[in-house]
């Protein structure tokens, strides 16, 4: 097949296809901008006090800023890939007709992924233009020549080219990956269904993640680790835990479905329960971005609580020693670290919104794919509110336990680092070790142990926010259900 034929077939489509193309391009635009920003931050070298933003000044903090930006770009990319299923029935008919005309299975998948790639390329090129324009507009140094953002540096041109091309390639790959269960035949499109239910083995991933995350803290006294080794352990632990929670959601969905079928009464629980049993992986696919964001958010909130406890310990220690000025900890230190945590939480909020958009796309697609069944149920007298309640129930029942697991896992990881901070042992330890110049505290009665509290309120806000985002997405998705239960659907070809 010639490239011109491939392009023509890839861009052929209806209004829904146009919407899919726009959404895909928009996702690719956002992902490209986020990745270019990350590359720009990484292009700043050395101590950079030419910036007013402290997160950009210290070389040690910039990888964290870049990592946060990449964290934002990943679910956006996933959304771009997920958009491939939007308007699926019409596209399925088109692909089946093309197969009937003689296209091979590989060519039909190529047409579907080329569509995503073309839209993504459009988005990533627009993203590059937007990045360059915004960079110029925001480049306003103050009187001392300092800038808020690194608008004076650009990543190397090869890096820019690679990033602009990487986004369409990745989104096309994600799209093709999501199509792996879809078989396009000349007679129509069928989906492979796994007959065996998911097993609870992702629990092992969570356990392995927790163990890896705990290694640097628990073995710190026995042996010293380099900074990179510690980061590797913590990173691998966090990633394994996230993967465990995301994959474990399938098992949760399946278990909830079985419980609903066994103990539920009425058609709502029957419909919702059977959907969860039939496709338990749907929760893992659609909620992956959201759950990952919630775990990252829970880690950030728990770490903020650990920092707050540590700063409180500095104050108590300084008071115990009778130091009114100076002492342990700089006065502006807390605000700096809290600012960094706030940045992560902004990223988490952004990711949650994008992930909720992904939930909406997936939900709309699953409703449209079953529109004839829904229309037939409505025609036989099943009230629309019963169908809406079933869709709501099948989304929320696995989500709530999965969210609780994600919050608990994120908080537990940080609690592996420290759960209590003792204050006032320094003088005794100094004397016992025979070190000279040990300064006795003026108020030894203030010696205490501070327990790092669990940030219940903040965790509840995070979980509630994620739940709210999904509720809004489901609410919007139910509008599609209303249109899909129109009896005209029974006559559609």
Partner 1 sequence: MSALLSGTNVVRNYGATPALRGVDLAVDEGEIVAVTGPSGCGKSTLLHCLAGILRPDAGTVTYRDQNIGLWSEAARSRLRRTDFGVLFQFGQLVPELTAVENVALPLLLAGSGRREARSVAAEWLDRLGVAELAEQRPGAMSGGQQQRCATARALVTQPRVLFADEPTGALDVLTGEQVLGEIVRVARELGTAVVLVTHAASVAAYADREIVLRDGVLDPTGLGLGVAR
Beta carbon of residue 489, minimum distance to partner 1 (angstroms, whole number): 16
Question: How many Å apart are CA 135 and CA 90, to the nearest integer?
Answer: 41
- Stretch near partner 1 under the rule CB under 8 A, chosen from 182-190, 266-274, 413-421, 456-464: 182-190
Q: Which is nearer to partner 1, 185 or 278 (CB)?
A: 185
Do 490 and 422 meet the contact criterion of CB atoms below 8 Å apart?
no
Beta carbon of residue 4, minimum distance to partner 1 (angstroms, whole number): 6
Does 222 bind partner 1 (CB under 8 A)? Our answer is no
Q: Which is nearer to partner 1, 193 or 457 (CB)?
A: 193
Which residues, 266 to 305, sit near partner 1 by CB under 8 A? none
Beta carbon of residue 102, minimum distance to partner 1 (angstroms, whole number): 3
Angle, CA 112 vertex, CA 190 and CA 178 arms, to 5°? 60
- Decide: residue 34, CB within 10 A, 0-12 exposed, 13-18 middle, 19+ buried: buried
Beta carbon of residue 190, minimum distance to partner 1 (angstroms, whole number): 12
Is the four-CA dihedral 136, 141, 146, 149 of positive or negative sign? Answer: negative
Q: Which is nearer to partner 1, 119 or 167 (CB)?
A: 119
456 membership: H or E segment, kind and range? helix 456-484
Does 185 bind partner 1 (CB under 8 A)? Our answer is yes
Per DSSP, what are the bridge partners of residue 371?
none
Q: Which is nearer to partner 1, 103 or 174 (CB)?
A: 103
- Stretch near partner 1 under the rule CB under 8 A, chosen from 19-27, 91-99, 146-154, 260-268: 91-99
Beta carbon of residue 101, minimum distance to partner 1 (angstroms, whole number): 5
- Residue showing tokens 């249109």: 483
Q: Which is nearer to partner 1, 100 or 490 (CB)?
A: 100
Q: Which is nearer to partner 1, 100 or 219 (CB)?
A: 100
E strands, 109-191, where?
Answer: 182-185, 188-191
Binding residues for partner 1, rule CB under 8 A, total 28
Beta carbon of residue 108, minimum distance to partner 1 (angstroms, whole number): 9
C-alpha torsion 98→103→105→107, nearest 10: -100
Q: Which is nearer to partner 1, 187 or 457 (CB)?
A: 187
Using CB under 8 A, which of 19, 55, 61, 90 touches partner 1? 90
Question: How many Å apart are CA 268 and CA 491, to the nearest integer?
Answer: 26
Question: How many Å apart are CA 389 and CA 247, to the nearest integer?
Answer: 25
Q: Which is nearer to partner 1, 183 or 396 (CB)?
A: 183
Beta carbon of residue 367, minimum distance to partner 1 (angstroms, whole number): 21
Beta carbon of residue 493, minimum distance to partner 1 (angstroms, whole number): 6
- Residue showing tokens 């409180």: 312
Per DSSP, what are the bridge partners of residue 190?
183
Binding flags for partner 1, 11-40, as an x/- string (CB under 8 A)? -xxx--x-----------------------
Which residues, 94 to 133, sit near partner 1 by CB under 8 A? 94, 96-107
Question: How many Å apart are CA 364 and CA 482, to the nearest integer?
Answer: 11
Q: Which of left, alpha, beta for 110 (phi over 0: left; psi -120 to 50: alpha)?
A: alpha
Does 493 bind partner 1 (CB under 8 A)? Our answer is yes
196 membership: H or E segment, kind and range? none
- Stretch near partner 1 under the rule CB under 8 A, chosen from 126-134, 181-189, 233-241, 473-481: 181-189
Other Cβ atoms less than 10 A from the Cβ of 165: the count is 14
- Decide: residue 470, CB within 10 A, 0-12 exposed, 13-18 middle, 19+ buried: buried
Beta carbon of residue 104, minimum distance to partner 1 (angstroms, whole number): 4
Binding residues for partner 1, per CB under 8 A? 1-2, 4-5, 8, 12-14, 17, 90, 93-94, 96-107, 185-187, 493
């Amino acid at each position: 097949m010639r490239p011109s034929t491939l392009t023509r077939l890839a861009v052929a489509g209806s209004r829904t296809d146009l919407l899919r193309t726009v959404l895909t391009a928009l996702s690719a635009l956002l992902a490209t901008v986020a990745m270019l920003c990350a590359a720009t931050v990484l292009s700043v070298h050395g101590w950079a006090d030419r910036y007013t933003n402290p997160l950009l000044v210290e070389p040690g903090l910039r990888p964290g800023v870049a990592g946060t930006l990449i964290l934002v770009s990943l679910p956006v990319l996933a959304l771009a890939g997920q958009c491939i299923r939007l308007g699926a029935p019409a596209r399925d008919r088109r692909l089946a007709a093309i197969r009937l005309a003689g296209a091979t299975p590989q060519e039909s998948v190529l047409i579907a992924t080329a569509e995503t790639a073309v839209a993504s390329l459009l988005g990533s090129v627009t993203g590059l233009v937007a990045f360059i324009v915004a960079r110029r507009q925001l480049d306003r140094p103050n009187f001392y020549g300092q800038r808020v953002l690194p608008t004076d540096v650009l990543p190397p041109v090869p890096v820019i080219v690679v990033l602009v091309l990487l986004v369409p390639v990745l989104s096309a790959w994600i799209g093709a990956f999501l199509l792996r269960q879809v078989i396009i035949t000349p007679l129509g499109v069928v989906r492979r269904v796994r007959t065996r239910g998911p097993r609870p083995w992702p629990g092992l991933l969570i356990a392995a993640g927790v163990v890896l995350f705990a290694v640097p803290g628990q073995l710190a006294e026995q042996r010293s680790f380099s900074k990179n080794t510690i980061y590797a352990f913590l990173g691998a632990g966090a990633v394994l835990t996230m993967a465990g929670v995301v994959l474990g959601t399938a098992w949760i969905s399946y278990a909830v479905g079985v419980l609903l079928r066994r103990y539920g009464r009425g058609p709502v629980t029957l419909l919702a329960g059977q959907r969860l049993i039939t496709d338990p992986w749907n929760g893992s696919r659609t909620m992956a971005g959201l759950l990952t964001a919630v775990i990252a958010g829970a880690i950030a909130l728990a770490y903020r609580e650990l920092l707050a406890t540590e700063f409180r310990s500095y104050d108590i220690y300084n008071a115990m020693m009778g130091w009114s000025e100076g002492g342990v900890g700089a006065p502006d230190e807390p605000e700096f670290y809290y600012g960094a945590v706030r940045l992560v939480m902004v990223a988490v909020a952004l990711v949650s919104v994008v992930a909720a958009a992904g939930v909406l796309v997936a939900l709309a697609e699953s409703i449209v794919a079953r529109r004839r069944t829904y229309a037939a149920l409505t025609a036989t007298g099943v009230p629309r509110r019963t169908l809406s309640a079933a869709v709501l129930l099948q989304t929320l029942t696995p989500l709530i336990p999965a969210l609780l697991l994600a919050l608990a896992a994120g908080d537990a990881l940080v609690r592996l680092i420290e759960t209590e901070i003792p204050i006032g042992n320094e003088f005794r330890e100094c004397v016992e070790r025979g070190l000279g110049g040990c300064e006795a505290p003026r108020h030894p009665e203030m010696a205490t142990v501070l327990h790092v509290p669990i940030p219940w309120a903040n965790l509840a806000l995070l979980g509630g926010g994620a739940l709210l985002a999904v509720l809004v997405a489901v609410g919007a998705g139910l509008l599609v259900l209303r249109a899909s239960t129109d009896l005209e659907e029974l006559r559609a070809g």
